[in-house]
Amino acid sequence: MSPTSYTDTKMKSACTAVLASALALTFTVGCSTKNYVKSQTAPIIQQTNDLDTKTAADHRNIVDTDERAKTGIAGAQSAANTADQHALAAGQSADAANHSAQEAYNRVDSLTGVVANLDNYKQLSDVSVTFGFDKYVLTASDKKELDDLAANLTSTRGYILEVTGGTDSVGDAACNYQLSQRRADAVVNYLSSKYNIPPHKFYLIGIGKDQQVASDSTAAGRAKNRRVDIKLMTNMSGDKPTTASSSGPNGQM
């Protein structure tokens, strides 16, 4: 072999070795890189999968909780609606009963009418309650007076109650008639509801300022005129009149 051929052969061998080494290095580096990337990304993938799983579970729980909440709200609303309906029905029944009772009261339009209906009755006792200016609400003191009067009813036969409402002279006459009627109604409603007194036992009238018991020139006099007089009457001859339990007006509210 000539020196030139030998040299070429050596160069080829060297190039082949270098190429082989380069390929081997490339393969080794490539595998190492893949293994490194895989080792680094595996935990991230696992964490992502875990997070997805947890997110899905949380979503299911939220949906489930929301459904239960909606069901609970719907149930509560239904119960509330039912309660409202019952309350409304009860209120309507009470209003109807009160209206029926109001219609059953013996209302008269003058004191003459009262007297005409009471010719056969005698008075056993009486009481008066007073009201604040433009008021028709009973106070605790008023109710105590009425309670004392009602205590006599259980032992009284054939009784009726004459209820007369009055006002002071302040204001329009028509308004005073209406106000005096409301005051009489307040007394009757209290007695009838608390003591179960039948409506037909009452004879009531609002007389406004027509029959005053004191002068309207003073505050004290006007307070006495804002009143309701209640008389306990009986038509039983065997009953003897008792000492009148008449009480003075309570004064201004």
- DSSP state, 234? E
Q: For residue range 36-87, what is the model confidence (pLDDT) as tens digits?
A: 555 555 666 666 666 667 777 776 777 677 677 677 677 767 776 776 676 6
Contact 233, 123 (CB under 8 A): yes
> Which residue, among 131, 253, 248, has the nearest Cα to 187 in the 3D structure?
131
For the ranges 28-32, 213-217, 237-241, the one whose mean pLDDT is highest: 213-217
Give the separation between CA 197 and CA 150, rounded to whole angstroms: 9
User: Using one digit for the tens of pLDDT, what is the confidence trace for 90-103?
Assistant: 555 545 445 444 55
More confident residue, 89 or 228: 228
Helix boundaries (H) for the chain: 3-104, 111-117, 140-150, 173-195, 219-225
Confidence label for 197 from pLDDT (cuts 50, 70 and 90): very high
In angstroms, rounded to a whole number, what is the distance separating the alpha carbons of residues 156 and 124?
A: 9
Per-residue pLDDT, 224: 94
Nearest to 244 by CA among 108, 128, 137: 128
Cα torsion through 183, 108, 167, 123, rounded to 10: -80
Amino acid identity at 64:
D
Sign for the CA dihedral angle at 76, 82, 83, 88 comes to positive
- Per-residue pLDDT, 128: 95
Least confident of 65-79, 196-210, 230-244: 230-244
Q: Which of 133, 144, 151 is nearest to 220 (CA)?
A: 133
Please tell me the total number of residues recorded for the chain in this structure.
Answer: 253
Q: How far is CA 203 from each of CA 53, 92, 107, 212, rounded to the nearest angstrom? A: 82, 26, 6, 19
CB 125 within 8 A of CB 244: yes
Of 6-20, 133-147, 175-189, 226-240, the range with the lowest mean pLDDT is: 6-20
Write down the residue that tokens 């029944």 correspond to: 93
Give percent of the chain with pLDDT exceeding 70. Answer: 55
Q: Residue 252: its pLDDT value, please?
A: 36
Mean pLDDT over all residues of the chain?
Answer: 74
Residue 47 to residue 231: CA distance in whole angstroms: 92
